[in-house]
């Protein structure tokens, strides 16, 4: 009887020990702070947990980074890119019951070049 009682106390502990750990909550989305210098903001983006660099196309003056789990991506310009230096963010948001891509960015270089890249990102979301 005592053995059965002791076993009944241990079974829930054993089951709990075998249960998978709950998934950690995703970090809060990173807001772009355009008051930071380009170097500081790009370092903050690169330090963001779960950031996965996309393969870089040869000759492309951009670096694309996706956040693991989706829903958020960043683009950092490199020398030679229109509007360099600049940081762009794309995030999936709900608008009127539909999922759409929202694009934001921080322009540190040529404004016309920045607007050109932003228009390109906007056109990707319209497809």
Domain ranges, ordered by start, for the chain = 26-126
How does DSSP classify residue 29? P
**What sign does the CA torsion over 30, 32, 35, 40 have?**
positive
Cβ-contact 59, 83 below 8 angstroms: no
Dist. CA 127–CA 12, nearest whole Å: 52
pLDDT tens, per residue, the chain with 127 residues: 555 544 455 555 555 556 666 766 667 889 999 999 999 999 999 999 999 999 988 889 999 999 988 889 999 999 999 999 999 999 999 889 988 899 999 999 999 999 999 999 999 876 6
Cβ-contact 53, 74 below 8 angstroms: no
Dist. CA 38–CA 40, nearest whole Å: 6
Q: Is the pTM of this model over 0.85?
A: no
């Amino acid at each position: 009887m005592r053995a059965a009682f002791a076993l009944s106390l241990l079974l829930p502990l054993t089951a709990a020990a075998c249960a998978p750990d709950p998934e950690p909550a995703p970090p809060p989305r990173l807001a772009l702070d355009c008051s930071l210098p380009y170097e500081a903001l790009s370092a903050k983006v690169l330090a963001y947990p779960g950031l996965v660099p996309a393969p870089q196309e040869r000759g492309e003056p951009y670096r694309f980074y996706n956040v693991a789990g989706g829903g958020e991506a960043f683009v950092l310009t490199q020398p030679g890119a229109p509007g360099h230096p600049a940081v762009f963010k794309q995030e999936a948001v709900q608008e009127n019951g539909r999922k759409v891509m929202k694009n934001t960015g921080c322009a540190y270089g040529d404004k016309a070049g920045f607007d050109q890249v932003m228009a390109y990102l906007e056109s990707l979301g319209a497809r």
